[in-house]
Chain A
Amino acid sequence: MDHDFDVCIIGSGAGAGPVAYTLAKAGYSVVILEKGKWLTEKDYFKDERSCCLRNSYTPDQRDEPHVVEQEDDDGQWHSQNTYRSGWNFWNGNVVGGSSNFMSGFFHRLKPVDFKLRSSFGVIEKANVVDWPISYDEMEPYYTRVEHIVGVSGKVVKHPYAEPRSTTDFPYPPTAEHPVAKMIDKACGELGYHAIPTPRAILPHNDLNRNGCSYSGYCGAYGCATGAKGSSRAALLDQAVATGRCQIRAQSMVTKINSNAKGKITAVEYIDHQNKTQHVNGRIYVLACQAIETTRLLLNSASAQHEQGLANTNGQVGKNLLFAGGGAGSGRLVYAAFNNKQADALHESGTFVNRALQDWYVINDPDFGAPHKGGTVDFVHLHPNPVVRASRQISGANGLLWGSDLKRKLESHFIDGRYLKIEAFCDWVPNDNCHVSLDKTTRDKWNNPVARVKVGMHERNLQVGWYLASKGAEVLKQMGAENVVSFASAYPPTNLIAGGCRFGTDPATSVLDPDCRSHELENLFVTDGSFMPTGGSVPYTWTIYANAFRVADKILAQLGSKNI
């Protein structure tokens, strides 16, 4: 049977880029269907209003909402449409997906993350399992990402440093803000090991991309130079340059068609003119970010797959993961430092680039038995001035306005620099965190929307508090004022994984260890959905590495091709 393309990829983010890059370079034809627009460096500006106040890169939630189900303090569950709710699970519907808007904090998982269950035993009311592969199988692909996507950093010794096959990163760290040295000093005094945070940002021109321009607006903003290693800038541009990869932007896939023999036969999508189209391939790769990947599988039910594709065991959408953890901040008031130090603190544009992993495993009798901990990243407060100013309007005794508001704004913006901590721990997989189809709410194409239940395991809070308080200790040691730290029960909606676990047992997992569907031999899932547990770092590097690993499996399945 003839096919339109060798490989058909749905989605274009971090899970899609490595597959398109690898297959197109190996001589195969690839089509990518992306629901959003194809924006490039020239379309991205440091514009708080479009990036962060008006959600310009995500759908209008009147047309495409989700339904979120959450628990109140009394243990009652409530659901609501995300339109006008403050919730938004969309993360960048453009070519390259949400990797365009990441901060690019790139930490690898560590060997222990692949075997949480056997390392730490059972957690009650949780579904923790070991991964079906080990760190050793993933390591070469982490290294591949360092070179192809471009990861900058510096390897230093620390208690939980993961094994590496190369001695150091291919790119030196991006330029660092003077506050990094203050963090190093404070951590040294406390006996902690501050490590340079690896970043998916090029410090200088290479890989046919420009280096960072240090404009000071990075996370949440599209990159105007190409330095940020988004799927589009780092991978898709090169895939397209082979002449064998076609990107169809503004193409919303609504259904995957399958036959009785357990194969996908075509995908159905709505093009930019709102016309229904079909395309087929030998292999299909699903990479729409965890929530939408599950939704598409469930919306593709057929006579042979009544519960949705790959879902005979009912596992699609289960064990959704966010990132657990906490946060904190402190303010370095210029008046508390000498003139030279205060001038240095005023610098803008450069990165903090510091993290702590001293508690990646918590060995603290006060906490209890040894337990999986996580990572603390030090970051600048987001520069976004409107968001920051709007936080000043609430006073202790009501709203602030007039000269009271003006003095508070001056103090916030002018008197010091805020330093933030972000603590990442595992989001403990549990029965109350999953994706299903909502029974009543439909999107503008009349398809059921995803219903996201966001139940959190209390262990997240315990570990989150622990890590955030360690970060706060460093802020205090640095001389920061108004230091606060806390754990959060709310799922961060920009850090999503799970829902289509990979595993060896077809009864309890959706994907096999190669991220191929147990049920449909020509269907792969390469976004973060495959992860049974999430690790204690942002997901992007692992999604990239795994997608490169799966791309090699797809190459093997397609057979060698001489070009």
Chain B
Amino acid sequence: MNRRRFLISITGIVAASPLALRQPLATTLPLETVVAGLTMAQWQTIELVQEHLFPAERNHLHNTPGAKDIHAATYLQSVLNEPRHDPADRDFLRKGLIQLQSITKKESGQTFEQLSHSQRDAVLRKLEQAPDGRHWISMLLEYIMEALLTDPVYGGNPHGIGWQWLQHQAGFPRPPRISG
């Protein structure tokens, strides 16, 4: 087993384990490491997009959780690793990212990471108009909603932070912690 394959298999296990899901994106992994079909560098961009779509608000009017607070990126990794998950989604997610960076480059000559908040918004609106772009953003938003409001055993919604914000009453009995 070469080092790269070893890393892939390690991260596969890490992403599926409930303990790891409670951590933010594991930035200590090498950027070229592939997790759930995307490199860690690509995951960092996904994390930026998620935070743009679902920003934390900490001001005198609003105190609401953002994508990082609800572990949206690691939650999405675990979703892509579900046995019954459609493997085509990984490719769809990757192609959408490529399209996002290509629009960014064409518009500004920069990368998405280098853009200001308003520039990022403009690029995402541009992507929304492109073929499959709306579907791609919708998919990210839908999994953000899952990370916000599914039971914390799945790795999102830590300590019920999403339920508390939206005053949602969870049912009982709650699902047990998942094993493996």
A residues lining the B interface (CB < 8 Å): 45-50, 53-54, 60, 84, 213, 215-217, 221, 224, 348-349, 383, 385-386, 389-390, 393, 398-399, 401-403, 405-406, 409-410, 413-414
Contact = CB atoms under 8 A, between A and B. Distances in A.
A398 B138 CA distance: 10
A3 to B, nearest CB: 39
Contact of B64 (A48, A383, A401, A406): A406
Given A385-B163, A402-B53, A403-B55, A217 B171 contact: yes
Given A399-B128, A410-B166, A48 B150 contact: yes
Given A45-B176, A413-B166, A215 B146 contact: no
A351 B124 CA distance: 43
A54 B146 contact: no
A176 B18 CA distance: 38
B131 interface: no
Interface in B75-96: 82, 84, 86
Interface of B: 52-55, 57, 62, 64, 82, 84, 86, 121, 124-125, 128, 134, 137-138, 141-142, 145-146, 148-151, 154, 162-163, 166-176
Contacts of A413: 166-168
B171 A389 contact: no
A414 B145 contact: no
Contacts of B141: 390, 393, 399, 401, 405
B137 A385 contact: no
Contact of B62 (A217, A405, A406): A406
B57 to A, nearest CB: 7
A317 B36 CA distance: 43
Nearest to A403: B57
A35 B169 CA distance: 35
Q: Which interface residue of A49, A215, A224, A383 has the most chain B CB atoms within 10 A?
A: A49
Contact of B168 (A49, A54, A213, A385): A385
Contact of A53 (B148, B150, B162): B150
Contacts of A403: 55, 57, 62
Nearest to A216: B171
B166 A383 contact: no
Contacts of A48: 149-151
Given A402-B55, A410-B166, A413-B167, A389 B148 contact: yes
B125 A389 contact: no
Contact of A45 (B54, B84, B168, B173): B173
A84 B167 CA distance: 33
A104 B138 CA distance: 34
List 5 tightest A-B contacts by C-beta distance, closest first.
A46-B171, A217-B171, A413-B166, A47-B175, A45-B175
Contacts of B124: 401
Contact of B52 (A50, A221, A348, A402): A402
18 contacts: A48-B151, A49-B175, A60-B84, A217-B171, A224-B173, A385-B162, A386-B145, A389-B145, A390-B141, A399-B141, A401-B52, A401-B53, A402-B54, A405-B53, A406-B54, A406-B64, A413-B167, A413-B168
Nearest to A393: B141
B148 A401 contact: no
A389 B167 CA distance: 13
Contacts of B170: 46
A514 B48 CA distance: 65
B57 A406 contact: yes
Nearest to B153: A47
Q: Which interface residue of A53, A215, A216, A385 has the most chain B CB atoms within 10 A?
A: A385
Contacts of A54: 82, 84
